[in-house]
Amino acid sequence: MLAKSLVIFIVIGMVSGFVYGIYLMDVKNTNQLVFVEGPSISLVTEKFDFKKGEVIKIRIVNSGTTSLIFSDASYGLRITGLSGILMYTPVSVQVVSHLDPGDEIELSWNQIKNDGDVALEGLYKISAKGMDEQGIPVEKSTIVTIWK
């Protein structure tokens, strides 16, 4: 026979695990790719946590119903620290780039900053910015973590 307090602790652990699982699925909203009506851009990474030195593949997807225009061949990609300090932008040609609805482009970051240093462990914000055909800015960002 199990002690009454042991049964209570087991039940509390199971309920709290269930509630935390619901939080991770619904509240945290880890769904990166959502198609909507009108202009929209989505950033998709294969995961949120990366090991130090691991290549981060970033898909920029036009998840709307209108074409998007970007001012360069890097599709407005920027990687910053959470403080907003720019860490990385791809070297790109200054040509106007387009993404039609449903189209995507894949870029990668090898965790080397623009100054040639290796990125440290921490949180990084990946963002992409373009505009729709009427010139209205469209921007999306996601946060990734680099671990040791």
Q: Is residue 83 domain-shared with residue 15, that is, in the same domain?
A: no
Profile the chain (148 residues) by mean pLDDT over runs of 10 residues. Answer: 83 85 56 85 93 95 95 94 93 90 95 95 95 94 92
Q: What is the pLDDT of residue 29?
A: 46
The strand pairing partners of 42, in sequence order, are 61
Helix and strand numbers, DSSP H then E, in the chain: 1, 10
Domain of 8, in residue numbers: 1-30
Please check whether residues 13 and 61 belong to one and the same domain: no
Q: Do 112 and 78 share a structural domain? A: yes
Q: DSSP string of 56-119?
A: EEEEEEE-SSS-EEESSTTTT-EEEETT--EEE--------EEE-TT-EEEEEE-SB-TTSPBP
Q: Please report the pLDDT score of residue 22 as a whole number.
A: 66
- In the prediction, which pLDDT does 28 show? 46
Structural domain contains residue 36: no
Given this model, what pLDDT does residue 1 score? 65
Q: Report pLDDT for 30.
A: 53
Q: So what's the pLDDT on residue 92? A: 86
d(CA 48, CA 33): 14
Q: How many domains does the chain have?
A: 2
